[in-house]
Chains A and B, each alone.
Chain A
Amino acid sequence: MIDTRTNSVEAENLTRRFGERTALNGLSLAVEGGEVIGFLGPNGAGKTTALSILATILRPHSGRASICGFDVARETGAARSKLGLVPQSIAIYPGLSGRENLEFFALMQGLSRTTAYALAERMLDEVGLADRAHDTAGSYSGGMKRRLNLACGMIHSPPVLLLDEPTVGVDPQSREWIFELIEKAAAEGRAVIYSTNYMEEAERLCHRVLLIDQGHVVASGTPQELIEKAGTRAHVRLDTLTRLPQGWIRGLSGAHEIEGPPGNGFTATVIVDEVEIVPEVLRLARDAGGEVKEFALHQPNLQDAFIALTGHGLRDAS
C-alpha cells in the first residue's frame, strides 16, 4: 500500500545548464501521492530536463530533489527504486515482443522472474495488448507502442510516475487507454508528474499544473486557478455573410468586440463576461444585418492562460 501522507516528490530550486543555455531555472515543487501534476509548456521549455533530474539521469547544477524522501543526487539507487520513467520517445525494444519488453524491464527493476512474468501478463491486459503479446513490438502501431511504453514504466508499480509526453502521436483510443491507466495509478495513490504541451491533457488529468517556459515556472496551480490568474475570458467568434457595421455590439453590457484573426469572409470576435449573454450577441448581429453563417464559443483554457502569461502559445518554438 502506498503511503500518501508525505510528499512523494519534492524539488527545490532546481537549476540545470547546458553550456551557456539554462534549460531549467529554479524549479520547485512538491507532489503528494495520488496527485497528478502537469508540466505544461512548449517544446524546449525545460520539462524533460526537470523530469530527467527527478529520474536521476541528469544531475542538477543547483537545488535538490527527492523521490519518496531519497535525494536524487546522493541516494540515487533508493530514489530509482521508487520511480517509474516513461520517456518521451518510445523506449521499448522493437526486436522483442510486448511480453518480453515488459519482462525485461521488470527484471531490470529487480523483480523476480516469476513476478515479472505475472506482472507482464497483467499489464498486457491493462493496456489492451494481450492478444499481441507475442508479436514483436516493432510490428505494433504507434498507439500500441505508446501503451507498451507506458506499461514498461509502470510494471513494477512505483510510487512515483514520471511521464514525459506519453501520448505524442497516438490515436484517440490509445490516448484513452493511457489516460485511464494514469488515472488509475493516481487513484492507487501514486504520485504522477505528467509532462505535456497539450493543454487539454493537462486539464483532463492534472490536479495541478506548472506552466513552464524557457526554464522558468511561469505559474502553477489548478487549471482553473491558472486561467483565472491569467484573467482570460470566454469569447464568441461570428462568421457572417456581410460585414457588421461599426458599434453593432455597443449597448450590450458585459460584451465588447475585439479585432479577430483575419479570415476569408467577414469575422467578428466578441469577448463576453458571461456565457449567458451569447444568445443576445447573436441576436444583435442578426439585427445589424449580418447573417450569421457560423459561430463558435471559446471558453478560456490553459492555452489562453499560457499565452496571457508568456506572450506566446504552447506550440510555438521557444
Chain B
Amino acid sequence: MTGSANVTESAATNTRHAGAMRATATVVQKELRILRRDWLGICLLILAPIVVISVAGFSLAKVYGGDAGAHLLPVVDEDHGEAGKAITDALAAIHEVDLRRVDSRDEAQRIVRDRGDAAAALIILDGTTTMLSSGGEPQLLLYTDPVKHLEIVNFKLLISEVLRRVSAAAVDRARRDAIATEARLREQLEEESANASADLRASLVNLQREASRRQAESEKLVAKQLLLAQVRIQDAIDQQLARIGEQLTIADQSQRAQLTELRDYFMKLDQSREQFAQWLMRLRDLAGSHASEIPPPPEFPLPPADIENLSSGDHVAIDFAKIRSGLKESTTLSGLQLSRFSFPSVSTLPEYSRIEQLPKIDHIAIPSFSLPGSIGFEEQNLTGASPKVNIFDQEVPGFGVTFVLVGMLFGVALGLADEREWGTLDRLRASRSPIAATLVGKLLSRFIVGLTQMIILFAVGRLAFGISLGQAPAALLLPSSAIVFGAAAFGLMVAALVRSRDSVLPAGAIAIMTMAAVGGCWWPQELEPPLMKTIALSLPTTWAMNSYNDLMIRHFPASSAILPFAVITGFGVLYITIAVAVQARRFL
C-alpha cells in the first residue's frame, strides 16, 4: 500500500517536473517569438552597442594610447637653428601630430584660444640651439587650452619624447665627436709613443755600448792604478817591517841579557836552598832529642814555571825572527786582484723588451669622453601580452555588458512589469504551470538573447576592430554567461522591487548606469579613485570587466575566469533570492 503510494507520488512528481519544463520551454518559445517580431528591438540590441562602441572607442582611443588620428599642433620656430629644425622635423614625423608651422606667437594663440582648432601650440624660443650646444637647458613654451586636457597630455608626452630624443641626439653627436677626437689623439699619441720608443731604444743601445766601453776603460785604468798602489804600499810596508825588525833585534838582545841575569839568580837561589837544607840538618842534629820540637822550616816559594823554563833553557821566549818573517809574508800585496772591485755592469740597464711595456694609451682617461647619456626605458609587459592595447578590447566588452544590462532592464524588468500591468502574470500564476516555470522561461529566453548579443558583439569587435580574444577565446563565455545571468537576475529584482511600470525605467536606469560606470564598462577602472574601486567590488560588472581584461588584454589563461564567474553567478543568485523574497511577501 505504502509502496504503491510512493510510486504514485513519484510519478506525480515526475509529471510535475515534466510539466514545469514544458511550461518553461513554452515561455521561452513565446518570448523569442515576440522578440523575433520586434525588429527595432533586435536592431537596438545589436546596432546600438556597435554604434556606441565605435564612437566611444575612437573617442577614447588616447586613454589607452591607441590611434586617435592626427591632432593639429601649431609650431613657431623662433630659434631657426639646428635644434629648432630637429624638434620640428621630429614632431612632423609623428603620426598623431598634424604639425603646422606658423610665423608668430599671435597666430599660434589665435589657433588655440580663439579658433579652438588646436589644444596646444609649441614655441621654440630663440637661442635654443645655442644654449643646447653650450650645455645649457633651454626651455620651450607650450600654449594650451585647458578644456582639451587629454589632448594636451598626449601632446606633452609626445613633445617630451621628442625633446628627449633631440637632447639625446645632441649628446650622442657630442659623444661621437669626442670619440673621434679621442681616436685622433690616440693615434697621435701612439705615433709619438712609437717614435719615443724607437728613440729610447736607440739611446739605450748607444748608452749600453758607451757604458761597455767606459767600463773596459775604467777596468784598465783601475787595474793600472791598483798595481801602482800595490807597489807603493809594498814599499811602505817593507820599510816599516825593516824598522820593526831592527826594533825587534834590539828587544831580543835586551831580553837575552835579562834572561842571563835571571838564570844566575836561579843558580844562586838553588845553592842557597841547598845550604839552608844542610844548615837545618845540622841544627836537628844539634837539637838531639829536641830535634822533633824544631818546627819545619818554611817552604821556599817556587818560581813560576815559565820563568823557570826561561831561566833553564837557552831559547828566547819571544821568537823575534819568526815574527819578522811572518810580517814579511803577511804584508806582501802580490795577492791582490782587480776582480775584487765591483764595477756597475751595463747589463743592469733596462732591457729593450721592457720598453714595450710602456703605459698604453687605452688606459689614459680623457675627461671629455665621459659625456652623460640619456636615460630611456623599454616596456616589458609582465602578462606576456602586447604592451600596445586596443581600446576596443575595453570598449566591446564594456558596452556589451552595458547593453546587456539595458536589454535585461527592458526584457526582464519592464517585460515583467508589463505582464503585471497587462494581467498576464496573474493569469499565468493562476494557471496549472508553476510561476517559477514562467520566470525561469523568461530569464532563460533573455539569457539566450543576451549571450547571443555578446557573442555577436565579440564577433563584430574581432572583425571590425581587431579586438583580442585572448589565448582561449572560448573562455570569454565564462564572464559573458555569468554577467548575462547576473543582469537577467538583476532585471528580475528590479521588477520585484518597483511598484509600477513607470518606476522601472528611472530606478533601473540609475542602477544600470551606476553599475556600468563604476564597474569599469565605460572607461578603464584604473581611472577611478581607490575608494570607488573598493566599492566597485560589490558590483557584478566590476568582476565581469576584470575577467574580460584578464582574458583579452592580459592574456591570462581560462582558469583566471573561474573566480569572477563564481562571484557574478553568486550576485545573480542573490538578486533572484531578493526578488523571490519580495514577491513572496507581497503574495502573503
Contact partners of A86 in chain B: CB under 8 A: 427
Complex interface: stretch among B26-34, B310-318, B332-340, B472-480 = B26-34
Interface contact B426-A87, CB-CB below 8 Å = yes
Contact, CB under 8 Å: B587 / A91: no
Check A105/B34 contact, CB under 8 A, given A59-B587, A90-B422. no
A136 and B26 within 8 A (CB): no
1/0 per residue, CB under 8 A from B, across A281-313: the answer is 000000000000000000000000000000000
Assess whether B430 is in contact with A93, with CB atoms less than 8 Å apart.
Answer: no
Q: Is B37 an interface residue (CB 8 A)?
A: yes
Q: Which size bracket describes the interface of A in this complex?
A: 20 to 34
> In the complex, A162 Cα to B430 Cα: how many Å?
10
B431/A80 in contact, CB under 8 A: yes
B431 touches A152 (CB 8 A): no
Q: Given A95-B34, A96-B33 in contact, is the A108-B422 Cβ separation under 8 Å?
A: no
Interface status of A55 (Cβ within 8 A of chain B): yes
Question: A109-154: which residues lie under 8 A (CB-CB) from chain B?
Answer: 109-110, 136, 152-153
Partner of B26, one of A56, A57, A85, A104: A104
* Contact residues, B19-53 vs A (CB, 8 A): 19, 22-23, 26-27, 30, 33-34, 37-38
Residue among A80, A81, A87, A108 with most chain B CB within 10 A: A108
Q: Is the CB of A108 within 8 A of B428?
A: yes
- Decide yes or no whether B117 CB sits under 8 A from chain A: no
In contact, A95 and B37 (Cβ under 8 angstroms): yes
With A85-B427, A110-B433, A152-B427 given, is the CB distance from A96 to B34 under 8 Å? Answer: yes
Contacts of B16 in A (CB 8 A): 77
Q: Report B231 CB to chain A, min CB distance, Å.
A: 152
> Do A56 and B433 touch across chains, with their CB atoms under 8 A apart?
no
B424 at the binding interface (Cβ < 8 Å): yes
* Residue of A91, A100, A110 touching B432 (CB-CB under 8 A): A110
- Judge whether B141 is part of the interface by a CB distance below 8 angstroms: no
| Contact residues in B for A89 (Cβ distance below 8 Å) | 421-423
Cα–Cα, bound, A100→B433 (Å): 17
CB neighbours (8 Å) of B588 from chain A are 59
User: Would B426 and A57 count as touching, CB distance under 8 A?
Assistant: yes
Question: Is residue B148 within 8 Å, beta carbon to beta carbon, of the partner chain?
Answer: no
A224 at interface by CB-CB < 8 Å: no
Residues of B within 8 A of A153 (CB): 427
Question: At the interface, yes or no: B100 with Cβ under 8 Å from chain A?
Answer: no
Q: What residues of chain A have their CB less than 8 Å away from a CB belonging to chain B?
A: 52, 55-59, 77, 80-81, 83, 85-93, 95-96, 100, 104-105, 107-110, 136, 152-153, 162
B interface residue numbers (CB < 8 A to A): 16, 19, 22-23, 26-27, 30, 33-34, 37-38, 421-424, 426-434, 438, 587-588
Supplied contacts A91-B427, A108-B431, A109-B432, 15 more A-B pairs, CB within 8 Å? A57-B429, A77-B432, A77-B434, A85-B427, A87-B423, A89-B423, A90-B422, A90-B423, A91-B422, A93-B30, A93-B422, A95-B38, A100-B33, A107-B23, A110-B432
Question: 9 nearest interchain CB pairs?
Answer: A91-B423, A87-B423, A89-B423, A95-B34, A85-B430, A55-B430, A110-B432, A91-B427, A57-B429
